[in-house]
Structure 1
Amino acid sequence: MGSRILVVLLVVSVQILVLTGQPGNQDYAALIALKNQLQNTPPNWVGSDPCGKSWDGIVCTNSRVTSITLSSMNLTGQLSGDILSFLELQTLDLSYNKGLTGPLPPSIGNLKKLSNLILVGCSFSGPIPDTIGSLQQLVFLSLNSNSFNGPIPPSIGNLSNLYWLDLADNKLSGTIPVSNENSPGLDMLIHTKHFHFGKNQLSGQIPSQLFSSNMALIHVLFESNNLIGNIPPTLGLVQTLEVVRLDRNLLSGPVPSNLNNLTHVSELHLSNNRLTGPVPNLTGMNVLNYVDMSNNTFELTNVPPWFSTLQSLTTLMMERTKLQGQIPVALFSSPQLQTVILSNNQLNGTLDIGSSYSSQLQLIDLQKNLISAFTRRVGGYNNELILVDNPVCQETGVTENYCISQQSNSSVEYSTPPNHCLPVPCSSNQISSPNCRCAYPYTGTLFFRAPSFSNLGNLSIFTSLQKSLMLSFQTHQLPVDSVSLSNATKNSDDYLVLNLKVFPSGQDSFNRAGISGIGFVLSNQTFKPPRNFGPFFFNGDPYGYFEGGVSTSTKKSSSTGIIIGAAVGGSVLVLLLLLAGFYAFCQKRRAERATKENNPFASWDSTKGSGDVPQLKGARCFSFEELKKFTNNFSEANDIGSGGYGKVYRGILPSGQLVAVKRAQQGSMQGGLEFKTEIELLSRVHHKNVVGLVGFCFKQGEQMLVYEYIPNGTLKESLSGKSGIRLEWIRRLRIALGAARGLQYLHDLANPPIIHRDIKSNNILLDEHLNAKVADFGLSKPMSDTGRSHVTTQVKGTMGYLDPEYYMTQQLTEKSDVYSFGVLLLELITARNPIEKGKYIVREVRQSMDKAKNLYNLHGMLDPTIGLGTQPKGLEKFVDLAFRCVEESGAARPTMSEVVKEIENIMQLAGLNPNAESASTSASYEGESKGFDHPYSNEGLFAYSAAFPPSKLEAQ
């Protein structure tokens, strides 16, 4: 009988261990299915806890998989329908794995929370499933550089949050879908900024319905397809456009006369079509850099006057466009001009380049025209000039260089020079980096689809690109020592092509987390090149030099045995430990109870959730050694902020996730019970407008909190101009709404409800999309069921934001946060400190107001960056809301739920969608950083107590 009981206990223990030892069983099963479907998955994909053990490329939240990023992993195989199990998945990036083949499973439409679907540079084929239109949260859809065929799914038109749509370089066919009463279409994507459809087999006309004046498009790239018919006049209505590529199609008819309404367009490509009618008039397109209308059948036309008026023009290409007459000398004096190609036309008369030609001018190609003479000037233009097959070169005995057949150079042997060092000889496949260190670099090719320059000999432009790349990798805490660019070439698609090498830091090769992080920065368009490079994509090469890698066969053959062995062995071990430790546990129970009175962590096993230990929801317990490693030994280079509590360090987890580690200094640490209460509280807070707690450390005399890393710093830094981010009226409205929603969540939906108690601009952080996130819960107080109306507590907060009623009564309520939020609203519109030179912002704005006048007569107090010239809609209602929030009596103030609704109404009044993203990316920010190099100021993420005496309160 005893042996039977033991067997039953063993079986039950195995089942319990397998079921309870796997956070997110459904996701674990799906990961195992994914692993069995693919070859070359990371070798650390072993064990039964992908979230707790940090499998490479896997990021979890609350024990559910939220991100899979496996770019350039040499993966091979196909995706199966099991992918539908990742119900919490937000990011899927499998880019640069040429071995990934087969169709995209229709079950991908079940991933309702997916916001980033990035499959660049793989070998997927078959039709794009129509179910992709079910992914309502999708922001990035990048399927370019594969072999997808069939039509563009009309259902993509349902993706109302879509920002980036890239289906280029596939085998897609059929017409461009637009909506009708039975079907959605791409014309519904009014918030999408990128239409990238080049290098496919699309046919039919470009529907006039595709474009409208309420679209936010900045890139329309339809090059190299089989599109026919006219360019629709509705294109001229999309005044946000910056790049237009319709070249290499079969388009016909005249160019719409309203094209010059597109005054923000910098690159215009209409070449290699069948366009007719007069050469279009581009007068007024004053930011136009690059124009190519070559190889069309326009009417015989004299050189248009606008050639000489576009002061930003770098490149003018009008080959075979039936131009006639003499070239005006003023054309060559445009200050940015680099290249003029007007060959195969009927230009005549005398060529005079003049003496005030552009200093950047490198190429003038006028071959096969009717030019009869060339005026030379002493000290004049002496760069490349081609006049072959003109009468000026047909006289006997002419030997001028410009009369000799030549081909303009479309490439340059550029390579990043060493950084003040001598290159070293390297063994095997290692390469000497710009810092003269031998390593195995990650390599690939950058393709720029519409650069605004044509002079590849200007090496300074590549230096700026190199610096921009390096800064992006450093900002994301990637282990990159240096980057190298080489072999700049213009290919047959008029793309600028550059070879990229990325060298590892502190080692001779990258690990998988490093490669995945670099790949994601490039595939997700996180890297923003200098503006003159235009839209780009990257194609990474397979990386074969991973640190500590093991063979696929070893990994595959051992994984199942490891899982089963670990489960059975672990079960036996658990039983033995239970039997052996039962007596000791009973004897020590009384002593442990006494110990917990002084140290609530004494019996805390963070992998369990019983007894008096903190009940955590997703927060991870880190060891001191782990955080020491993640922050590079808490180095000064990783120090990103400090305050009364201690310091904040930037760190990077093995998964590639960036974190901010808040480390208490000796003397400022809370008691164990308070620290336990704080992390237990924070672990329950999960909202997109609240900074998330990743984990903590309470070991070796340390108290540390690990938060998600927010790249664009505090609202305070942006309002002061320190960050270089320009906050115009629309962005401020979105930031106000985001902060209000975060605070509403704390008040109404958190369990238990939370009063923040320190709302201020230093505690509102801005992510990469300028979404506001409420931060710093060091002073927060939970509201119990019995104390829902108020909490009597010592007064704490920050001068200028503190609720006077709370100070006088010491009774803390949710309306105390509302008061602080009202001060924040006034700070948002004035960019002034709450207390500045002894003056209190609430009193100052109130005294300046005159509701009978425009903008309440606050012109002198409003921050000029808001953009007063545009008369910000809803500003008066915004001010009214702020003053309702700072009413003297808390009962007279609105709830945060009411505040949220009012801000949403104000946004709708301003013609904005309250549910749209704050900003696309950092690319849309204006201005450059002014010494801003980290997101946490001296006060960021730190709270301060303030038991203010009456004299200080009166100063408010």
Structure 2
Amino acid sequence: MICLRAFFILLILSASANICSGLTDQNEVSALKAIYGAVGDVFNRLSNWAGDDPCGSGWTGVICETINGVDHVTELRLLNMNLTGSIAPDVGNLTELVILDFMWNNITGSIPPEIGNLSKLYLLLLNGNKLTGQLPPELGNLSQLNRFQIDQNNISGPIPSTFQFLNNANHFHMNNNSLNGSIPPELGRLENLIHLLLDNNDLSGQLPPELSNISTLLIMQLDNNHFNGSIPSNYSQLKNLTKLSLRNCNLTGIIPDVSGMSNLAYLDLSSNQLTGQLPASISQTITTLDLAYNQLDGDIPDALYKLRGLELLLLRNNLLDGTFNGSIMEHDSFVNASSVLILDIQNNNITGYESGALLNLPNVTLKLFGNPVCNDSSPGGNVCTEYNGSILNLSLPNTATSPSLQCSSELTCDPSRNFELVYGLSLLYGQCHCAYPLNIGYRLKSPGFAIFPPYEDGFIVYLSSGLNLSVYQVNVSSYNWEPGPRLNMNINLFPKNTTNEFTEAEVDNLFNTFSTWSIPDNDTFGPYEVLFLNRDFPYNGTLSSGTTSSLSGGAIAGIIISVIIFTAVLVAVIMVLIAKRQQRYTRARRHYERIKVAGVKDFTYEEMAKATNNFDKSTEVGQGGYGKVYRGTLADGTVVAIKRAQEGSLQGTREFCNEIELLSRVHHRNLVSLIGFCDDEDEQMLVYEYMENGTVRDHLNSNSKQPLNFATRIQIALGSARGIHYLHTEANPPIYHRDIKASNILLDSYRRAKVADFGLSRLAPVAELEGDTGGDVSTVVKGTPGYLDPEYFYTHKLSDKSDVYSFGVVLLELITGMQAITKGKNLVREVNLAYEAGMLLSIVDHRMGPYPAECLRPLISMAISCCQDDTNSRPSMSEVVRELEAIWSLIPDKNTMVSLETSISTDSGVNYSKDLVYNNLLVSSDVSGRALMTNSIPEVSPR
């Protein structure tokens, strides 16, 4: 009987395992098979890509996560596998992908634009292949992307301006390709960019001054391109910049004032056509200053003699004159024997030389060959010796600060096990011993120094800390400088000196740390890349030797009993979970939404209460169906708007989750930004940027103290249209707002419009997953009366044209000042009646002051077009934006429109109650309100 029960329990366990463990999403299985079919796997690295469950079967390089009971591919790591072929467009169907890594293969072809569909992608790593073609503009849809690496390919064409929408990008590594055209000035909008590497391309045009807006930028490396013009003077605003490298870029003009770059350590402007004098003031943080091969003249300013941390000063092949004044030099070489100072001032017009104590130190090198001072009265020594090679290959003194420790020569290691000596600093932690190292190919892509020995010990400390290893476990076995300059290193990682081998789990952890860039960025060492990681173990992965023995009967019985007990507990847990299914669903969903907004601040209820003075009524600034909105001040002084859900509102909960999910997908200057949220103590609150000027509806009300003039209304219409256009065409997947109205368009301190309130928004259908729906979503009708698309109301089919209709109503509100529904009257119907009666001007809001007729006519025409009953008769948001841009361009003076109120009578006897004069244009209406210029408005079929 016991055996029979155990049998049934095992059956239940098996069935439960099949139910609870999610099989891999089949669309993603198909995508992976297509990817496998497109690549060439000559070394059979992907030989286990078989079957229909990549996640369950552990396909090589495929990492998954269970989401809502289904396994999804979240990481695809195929680096350094000698793969050939191309990247299949089907990769765009891996919609949960966070990491896409094809580094260091031989992949050819172009980058599929379908990668732009991967809305959750965080790392896109394609460097070190043979990719060609152009960069797809669709990559600008990757709003969550942090790192974009395509360096060392042969990609051509321009940098898409859509990259301006990669708002979360920290790293642009596009060097060593064939990119051409100019650098898009729109990149200046990337407010989180840290590293911009575009060197070794065919870029041209002028350097965009807009790049100075990227206050977070640490490294700008643009060497070996074909720019023209000068270095923008406003680059001095880049106060956080640590490295600026513009070598061989065909630049002219003078060196701008760089004193504002207070953190600059590395400045390379060599091999250009720069003129004028050397910088008279420069940051004391500078270590490398390369201005060689230009046409700079004048004396060497005193400021350059007193850079205490300077390591490399290259001024060769210029037109410098005067005296080299070594007697006033100040440098840390006086107090720090590990520092190095190299001064290359060859081939200038230096006529005098004054020595000093610093120049007599063994770690200081001065080269004055090719100057008149070496012809007339040679300073002696090696100062006037010609040196034509790389200055980095000069013989340098030993600058290592570590004690010179070696293991005993009597200790030998077994070569058959590939063991090596753990040497050097290991003596500080114990005796030398033999161990099997993990070998890493590691490269610093843009280091902030040109001489490595003084930094080697600091680098070992940095890397060991990032890997959570002891210092003695990291050894730089060799290094060499490559063109760039980039520093290529061979690194050995050793296990702790209590063992002689890493475990496989330890190797996996180290590999994950490297391949996910979990080691924090360092200003000195800059971005890095792993070229290879030797994961092979001695004895084919067997970490210890010994004999195996069969299990005893008692052991087997113990295992069976353990399995039975575990199964019984598991079944009980499953039954409890099923009984609490609804409660678990609600809590799981809320937790899932928390995960969705990783990186957005999660506030506590206490923080929200403190920000609003315990939700004092004086801080209340608005109220809607969702709840109340409060003005709050966070602990750091930031003023925010806090939307607090009504207690116990199911609709509020749904809107809360929906708005967080959608706002985590979108970032645009005309959409209100989500700062954080609170899901604490049964309270749900959303925290937004505070919009000082409230809603558009507030300013259109008859009691408004600040009525909007015509130009401001056009500006508001254009800004909000751009925000909606972004939702429809550039969000991935597209989003239908579903509640566009004047009270959901907010104004900042400059009255710039931002669309808000995404609680009712819906994602557009994805054709590949949902079939060809024609862009429609079948849904329960939601929205605000007066703004609802009639076709959506009757058919329940939501589309982008539903938002167009609602926006058309907003345009009519801006034109008339009236509300969508007033005293039972529908604004759209009233406008159409006025059109049919030829009295459109009678409903134009006189509070907006003067307006040019050539602007009002197309504005009214477009608003009526947007509000057509027939969906197909409405313009798209793209067309609306273009038309509004055209109207905006027609306003000759957007800030000084003047209203004149007069009373004029004409020969025809018509009396004018109010005339609006603008640039000699008279827009009038008679006493009955009938417009005198209605015939000039383009025909639009009224309803």
Provide the residue aligned with 1:469 in structure 2.
Answer: 463
The aligned counterpart of 1:442 is 438
What runs of 5+ residues in structure 1 fail to find an aligned partner?
Answer: 1-14, 67-86, 179-184, 551-594, 617-672, 691-736, 743-766, 774-820, 830-841, 854-860, 917-956
CA RMSD of aligned residues (A): 4.9
Q: 1:892 to 1:103 in 2, by over 3 A?
A: closer
Displacement, 1:279?
2.4
**Change beyond 3 A, Cα 1:227–1:450:** same
Following TM superposition, by how much is the alpha carbon of 1:282 offset from its aligned partner in structure 2, in angstroms? 2.0
Q: Distance in 2 between matches of 1:394 and 1:151?
A: 54
2:482 aligned residue: 491
1:387 aligned onto 2:368: yes
Q: Paired residue for 1:822?
A: 605
1:281 is displaced (CA, Å) by 2.7
CA distance in 1, matches of 2:404, 2:88: 48
Instruction: Render the CA deviation track for 1:889-945: whole Å, top value 9, x for unaligned.
Output: x779996667776947532437999999xxxxxxxxxxxxxxxxxxxxxxxxxxxxx
Matched to 1:422, the amino acid is C
Question: How far did residue 134 of structure 1 move?
Answer: 1.3
Residue of structure 2 aligned with 1:201, choices 178, 182, 203: 178
Q: Helix, strand or coil: the match of 2:132?
A: strand
Q: Deviations over 1:739-765 (max 9, x none)?
A: 9x89xxxxxxxxxxxxxxxxxxxxxxx
> What are the superposed Cα offsets for residues 386-416 of structure 1, whole Å, 9 maximum, x if unpaired?
1111112124776422112345335878999
Secondary structure of the structure 1 residue equivalent to 2:473: strand
- The structure 1 residue matched to 2:290, chosen from 300, 317, 326, is 317
Q: Matched residues in 2 for 1:17 and 1:688: separation?
A: 25
CA contact (8 A) 2:55 2:64 kept: yes
Describe the shift of the 1:894–1:314 C-alpha distance in structure 2 as closer, same or farther (beyond 3 A).
farther
Structure 2 CA distance for aligned equivalents of residues 90 and 176 of structure 1: 27
Which residue number corresponds to residue 940 of structure 1?
Answer: none
SS at match of 1:311: coil
Does residue 1:404 correspond to 2:385, yes or no? Answer: yes
414 and 305 in structure 1: CA distance in 2 versus 1, 3 angstrom threshold: closer
Q: For 1:540-579, list aligned pairs within 5 A.
A: 540-545=532-537, 548-549=540-541
Structure 1 residues 417 and 680: alpha-carbon distance in aligned structure 2, compared to 1, 3 A threshold: farther
- Does structure 1 retain, via aligned residues, the 8 Å contact 2:20–2:69? no
Cα separation, 2, equivalents of 1:416 and 1:380: 22
Partner of 2:309: 336
- Aligned partner of 1:758 in structure 2 is none
2:268 to 292, 300, 303: 292
Contact 1:228-1:251 at 8 Å conserved across structures: yes
The aligned counterpart of 1:283 is: 259
What SS class does the counterpart of residue 308 from structure 2 fall into? Answer: coil
Distance 2:202 2:137 in 1: 19
For residues 462 and 108 of structure 1, the distance between their equivalents in structure 2, rounded to whole angstroms, comes to: 41
Contact 1:64 1:88 in 2 (8 A): no
Call closer, same or farther: CA 1:529–1:908 in 2, change over 3 Å: closer
Taking the aligned partners of 1:105 and 1:348, their CA distance within structure 2 comes to 60
Q: How far off is 1:443 after superposition?
A: 1.8
2:183 aligned with 1:187: no
1:194 is aligned with what amino acid?
A: H
CA distance in structure 2 between the aligned counterparts of 1:153 and 1:246, rounded to whole angstroms: 22
For residues 600 and 430 of structure 1, the distance between their equivalents in structure 2, rounded to whole angstroms, comes to 41
* Matched letter for residue 254 of structure 1: S
Structure with the bigger RCO (C-alpha within 8 Å, sep 6+) is 1
Aligned to 1:524: 516
Aligned runs of 1:87-98 on 2, under 5 Å?
A: 88-97=72-81
Deviations 1:582-634 (A, max 9, x none): xxxxxxxxxxxxx9xxx99848268xx8xx53329xxxxxxxxxxxxxxxxxx
Does 1:534 find its partner at 2:526? Answer: yes
Q: What secondary structure, in the 3-state scheme, does the structure 2 residue paired with 1:88 have?
A: strand
Residue in 2 aligned with 1:867? 636
Corresponding pairs, count = 604
* Amino acid in structure 2 at the alignment position of 1:247: D
Residue 326 (structure 2) aligns with: 353
- Write the distance in 2 (CA, Å) between the matches of 1:493 and 1:65: 48
Report the CA distance between 1:368 and its aligned residue. 0.8
SS in 2 for 1:235: helix
Q: CA-to-partner distance for each residue in 1:137-159, whole Å, 9 max, x for gaps? A: 11111111122111112211121
Deviations 1:555-582 (A, max 9, x none): xxxxxxxxxxxxxxxxxxxxxxxxxxxx
2:574 alignment partner in structure 1: 615
The aligned amino acid for 1:303 is L
Q: Answer yes or no: is the 8 Å Cα contact 1:615–1:680 preserved in 2.
A: no
Cα distance, 1:219 vs structure 2: 1.7
Superposition deviation, residue 194 in structure 1: 1.8
Cα pair distance change 1:430/1:167, threshold 3 Å:
same
Distance in 2 (alpha carbons) for counterparts of 1:342 and 1:148: 38
2:413 is aligned to: 426
- Number of the residue aligned with 1:144: 127
Q: Say if 2:61 and 2:76, in contact at 8 Å, map to a contact too.
A: no
Q: Counterpart of 1:24 in 2: which secondary structure?
A: coil
**Could you say which residue in structure 2 is the equivalent of 1:370?**
349
Say whether 1:502 aligns with 2:493.
yes
Identity %, equivalent residues = 25
Comparing 348-357 with 376-385, greater Cα deviation is found at: 376-385
User: By how many angstroms is 1:199 displaced?
Assistant: 0.7
For 2:649 and 2:108, locate their aligned partners in 1 and report how far apart those are by CA, in whole Å. 62
* Pairs within 5 Å for 1:68-83: none
Q: How far 1:93 sits from its partner (Å)?
A: 1.4
AA at the equivalent of 1:499: N
Q: TM-score, normalised by structure 1?
A: 0.55
Alignment of 1:908-923 (within 5 A): 908-909=689-690
Residues 158 and 895 of structure 1, relative CA distance in 2, 3 Å threshold? closer
Residues 91 and 470 of structure 1: CA distance in aligned 2, closer, same or farther (over 3 Å): same
- Asked if the contact 1:200/1:224 (under 8 Å) is kept, the reply is yes
How many angstroms apart in 2 are the aligned matches of 1:400 and 1:166? 48
Please say which of residues 524-533 and 899-908 is displaced more in the overlay: 899-908
Structure 1 residue 507: Cα displacement: 5.3
Deviations 1:19-51 (A, max 9, x none): 999962667977899999855559999999876
User: Is 1:109 paired with 2:92?
Assistant: yes
Over 3 Å counting, the alpha-carbon distance change for 1:370 and 1:336 in structure 2 is same
- Work out which of the residue numbers 567, 571, 577 in structure 2 matches 1:604: 567
Amino acid corresponding to residue 96 of structure 1 in structure 2 = N
- When structure 1 is superposed on structure 2, of 154-163 and 515-524 the one drifting more is 515-524
Q: Which amino acid aligns with 2:465?
A: L
In structure 2, what is the equivalent of residue 923 of structure 1? none
Q: Deviations over 1:492-511 (max 9, x none)?
A: 21123322112245654456
Distance 1:261 1:686, change over 3 A: same
Q: Spell out, residue by residue over 1:220-240, the C-alpha distance to the aligned partner (whole angstroms, 9 max, x if none).
A: 110011112221222223333
Query: CA separation of 1:229/1:484 partners in 2, compared to 1, >3 Å: closer, same or farther?
Result: same
Question: 1:63/1:415 Cα in 2 relative to 1: closer, same or farther (>3 Å)?
Answer: farther
Q: Does the 8 A contact of 1:23 with 1:49 survive in 2? A: no
Distance 2:199 2:590 in 1: 38
TM-score normalized with structure 2 length: 0.55
Work out the CA distance in 2 between the residues paired with 1:17 and 1:614: 11
1:161 CA displacement:
1.6
CA distance in 1, matches of 2:137, 2:392: 43
> CA contact under 8 A between 1:175 and 1:202: conserved in structure 2?
yes
The 3 A distance-change label for structure 1 pair 895 and 682 is: closer
How much has 1:196 moved relative to structure 2? 1.1
| Cα shift at 1:103 | 0.7
Structure 1 residue 825: Cα displacement? 4.1
Distance (whole Å) between structure 2 residues aligned to residue 18 and residue 896 of structure 1: 32
Tell me the distance in 1 between the aligned counterparts of 2:118 and 2:25: 20
Is 2:191 the partner of 1:254?
Answer: no
Written as runs of structure 1 = structure 2, the 5 A alignment for 1:931-946 is none
- Change over 3 Å in CA distance of 1:330–1:34 after alignment to 2: closer
Contact 2:61 2:78 in 1 (8 A): no
Q: Does 2:890 correspond to 1:906?
A: no
Which of 245, 257, 281 in structure 2 is aligned with 1:269? 245
